[in-house]
A and B are shown apart, each in its own frame.
Chain A
Amino acid sequence: MDPMEVFKIEVTGQEEFGAKKYRELIMDILQDLGLIRSIGRLYVYVDIFKPFFAVYGLLRSGIPPLTVKDVGDVLRVAGGYQIKINDEEHMADLLRVLWERYGRERVEQPARDIVIIASDTSPSGLMVADLEAEFLQDLTDALVRVAPEGFRNRRNIMTKDSFFFIAAEESLTPVMVSEIKGKIREMENA
């Protein structure tokens, strides 16, 4: 069963095999990059004779930014605050943010998973990483990987809740883009 609510793929000509294989390929790549759960609907339209490759997708609800309290427990100690790190994945980002906010001389790391800050202001609310931006970067990477390799004229329109990606061999013209948009709309309404 597909983890997505809707996943449609349409290819011009007698290319049923290609459509089936591209479906598997897209699933494999999205799964590899851990993106599949964040995409609700996906429409893929390929015209082999023009040729171009287009993907339109609707994203599931936005991902909130990661803050200091999400990566560790913040405790008030004598002379400042202590952060006990639970998730080491974002350690480098956390230290960079703390150094920027408090200065290197006020951030101390006596143990691998302990950081002490000499300050009266709590670091709990500081943003460690913008997960949504990372997700969008990964998504762009996935789309470039999915598109056939020779299709190097690309357009990628990303909004808060959707993305629209076109890749073609020839230059993209406004006529072509509106034609593709029309096709995708037809697929959506079918």
Chain B
Amino acid sequence: MLEPVMFTGGLYKHDLVVELVEDLGGYILQRNLTQTEIILLILVPSEDMALLQALAKELRGELVRAPLAGTEVAVVTPTLAIHHLPHTACDIAEYLRRHGSKTNMLGLARGVGREIAQINEYETALINEHDAAVFIFGNFQECIKKKESLYRNISVPVVVTGGPQIEAKDLPYAFEYVPAIGRVAHRARKATEIGTLDRIVDSVGRALDKTRASIAKDPLTTSPPRVMDAVREQVPDVQFSYSPLPIALNLTGVRVKLPYNAYKDAVKAVTFDEGVKLGEIATIKPSRMKDYILVRILSASETGFVF
């Protein structure tokens, strides 16, 4: 089983970490370079963790478990106005990132108000491309209950956050509800506020575990990190993408950040060592996010094999 971890350390000799991970059959999911420091999101076989830990210690780096690595989470606010940003939404998004998730912030076009709040088909489809969503609501329980219509049609697990205590039975369409983080006009600093952020991360972790468990019942033909590696190798133009993460991982596939029409055939033609083409084991379709390519790996019951 692959263990998700985050390595933070100096730039000097970090290649040793990359080489070790590749030798062990693991994957480098993301590489963030900040002047002399580097942050690597890594998937490494759990039985070989000790080797990586020893190397991280030798390089004076830090190795921590990143339970959300390899997943994409949408942080949804009613709009991107000053009422919801920057404090709550940015705190939650940043906290999820620190635990390894790829987080996208999404402001709805008409999500404001109590009676007038609405979500459109495009926004719903875009959120459904993620592995989980966090909806950030305010301080009044009547409004939080009423705004259930915003996430009722979303098929990925939705974690709802808000200020007051609300019984789970009052929000039947939410995966979980995390209270004590409604609309605030300051950054999360106090221990209680940080504790609430931890609870959101735990809740998102549980939501992702639920998705993982349902995938395990009918496993994917191949794993998304393997697809990512193959695309990175065989479609070299992806490294010229301006996006900080040219291939984003999901639990059921990847999003390749290249124009769909120009590169869909190249992505379909990506071939694995077993001789199978990506187009045969996955659906390649346009993503709702910009003009990107969305790769959704088919399950074993559809293709009849796993490799």
Contact = CB atoms under 8 A, between A and B. Distances in A.
B115 A51 contact: yes
A151 B78 CA distance: 13
B140 A11 contact: yes
B113 A148 contact: yes
A14 B164 CA distance: 10
Nearest to B182: A21
Interface stretch (A24-32, A60-68, A114-122): A24-32
B165 A17 contact: yes
Given A149-B79, A150-B78, A169-B115, A21 B141 contact: no
Given A11-B140, A51-B143, A148-B143, 8 more contacts: A15-B141, A28-B184, A48-B142, A145-B83, A149-B78, A149-B84, A150-B117, A169-B113
A148 B83 contact: yes
Interface string A2-19: 000000000101110110
A21 B184 contact: yes
Listed from nearest, the 10 A-B pairs whose CB atoms lie closest are A150-B113, A150-B112, A28-B185, A17-B164, A149-B83, A18-B139, A21-B139, A18-B140, A149-B112, A48-B142
Contacts, number: 74
Contacts of A170: 115
Nearest to B115: A169
Task: Assign chain B's interface to a size class.
Answer: 20 to 34
A150 B164 contact: no
Interface in B143-176: 143, 163-165
A148 B117 contact: no
Nearest to A29: B185
A15 B114 CA distance: 15
Interface in A111-156: 145, 148-152
B13 interface: no
B83 A17 contact: no
A45 interface: no
B47 to A, nearest CB: 48
Interface of A: 11, 13-15, 17-18, 21-22, 24-25, 28-29, 32, 46, 48-49, 51, 145, 148-152, 169-170
Chain B, interface SS category: loop
16 contacts: A11-B140, A15-B139, A17-B141, A18-B164, A21-B139, A21-B182, A21-B183, A24-B184, A28-B186, A48-B114, A48-B142, A149-B81, A150-B117, A151-B113, A152-B113, A169-B114
Nearest to B117: A150
A5 B116 CA distance: 36
Of A28, A148, A151, most B-chain CB atoms within 10 Å: A148
A169 B78 contact: no
A150 B140 contact: no
Of B79, B84, B163, most A-chain CB atoms within 10 Å: B163
B138 interface: yes
A28 B87 CA distance: 12
Of A18, A49, A145, most B-chain CB atoms within 10 Å: A18
B113 A17 contact: no
A159 to B, nearest CB: 27
B191 interface: no
A60 B68 CA distance: 52
Contacts of B164: 15, 17-18
